[in-house]
A = this chain, B = another copy of it.
Amino acid sequence: MAKIQARILRGFRDYLPADMIPRRAMFSKVEDVFRIHGFAPLLTPALEYSECLLGKYGDEGDKLLYRFEDNGGRDIALRYDLTVPLARMVAMNGGLTLPFKRYQIAPVWRAEKPGRGRFREFFQCDADIIGAAGPDAEVEILSVGVGILKALHVGGFTISMNHRGVFDGLLAGIGVEDPEKKAEVIRTLDKLDKIGQDRVMEILASEVGLPASSLERIAEFLSLEDGDLDAAKTFFDGDEVAIAALDSMASTLSLAQEMGIGDHLEVRLSIARGLDYYTGLIYETTLTALPDIGSVMSGGRYDGLMSMFGAPAHAAVGISLGVDRLYAALLELEEIERKESPTEVLVTVFDEESRTAAFQFTHALRAAGVAAEVHLGNTKKFGKQFRYADKKQIPYVAILGPDERAEGKVRIRTLADGSEQLLSNAEAIQTLASTSS
């Protein structure tokens, strides 16, 4: 076999154990909250027919697809998100019982320019309810989101919500009806937090070409106080679309209050969300302790999108967790920590005569639910076994040398402080089982 230099593609990464262990712990908590809320797991293939993906993400998205011809001449591509494959699956399974509540945690691939925190392979974590209109489905989606952030112990957080109907009303009121132009205005407003209101107004004037009267109306709209639905209703007096949107948000908010999750919600009329396909509620989430990392959880209602493959235009509402941001936040908040190994106890092998006893003790620890591993390899350098435990962040080391065995005991050393206990095997197992997670 010719020797080839080992290298990894730019924009891709190996998740080594030190990151995989806390990441898996995080996902496990997330999945448990999905389960408690009755969301079922779904898995779709990594590869799809290109025609099923093309035209769904805009021209820019099409260019970012990992698209190629397979050996059979089929035009195929790696999935770009989890929503389009979901729609494809729903269209192919007409017999699905609705509402259909599913989640999916899986990698997606985008040939973006790699950069700080931007990868070509990254995980998405989405949950969606297909086939349920109305505020109750929205509260269910918000409820699972609140449950997840609480389970992860992220501290305080605010879910800022808005409704696309508010923009429909606002833009109709200033004569912007063309869908392309509407989308352009909304995408510009979505940049408020990033570039500030002055710059947004400049772009709306110079690039989108809105007249001064329209800019004035938008500025007035942006000056409405967050959360003051009454003021917003006065502003939109007579505008049925906007008023209906505000009423819909009020209903969602009121049901959320009754569910006990209202305190985490606020109405923020400037929230726009860049994506074109939202049709009702939209929301994003900021962590109180780490506002600068951006939204960690967002989504909204996208009725009709599911019809992209000719299936019925089911109502749909979804949530998407920014798992890379959440993982970074949890590390920073010290809610999780990097860990080289799942092992709680390294059972050392003092000499060849001690090997059997070491293996048997390891076996007994595992039977009691303690993550244990036994030293593998030669026993010439006993100190090396401790250095291994140290490097792998294994908290306890068990020693079963001739002296310990003569007494029918095992010595347990706590590496953090070097303290030791001489215990019977049964006592040691009990002690270690009670301290291990």
Contact = CB atoms under 8 A, between A and B. Distances in A.
Contacts of A2: 55
A61 interface: no
A250 interface: no
Contacts of A16: 42, 89, 93
Contacts of A369: 36
Copies in the complex: 2
Given A40-B341, A255-B359, A359-B255, A366 B4 contact: no
B9 A47 contact: yes
Contact of A372 (B36, B44, B47, B259): B36
Interface size class of A (residues with CB under 8 A): 35 or more
Contacts of A36: 366, 369-372
A292 interface: no
A7 interface: yes
Contacts of A121: 45-47
Contacts of A301: none
A6 B91 contact: yes
Contact of A140 (B4, B71, B134, B376): B376
A42 B14 contact: yes
A393 to B, nearest CB: 10
22 contacts: A2-B55, A5-B309, A6-B88, A6-B92, A7-B88, A8-B45, A8-B88, A8-B92, A9-B48, A12-B45, A15-B42, A21-B40, A38-B341, A38-B342, A38-B343, A38-B371, A68-B69, A97-B391, A99-B376, A137-B377, A140-B376, A255-B356
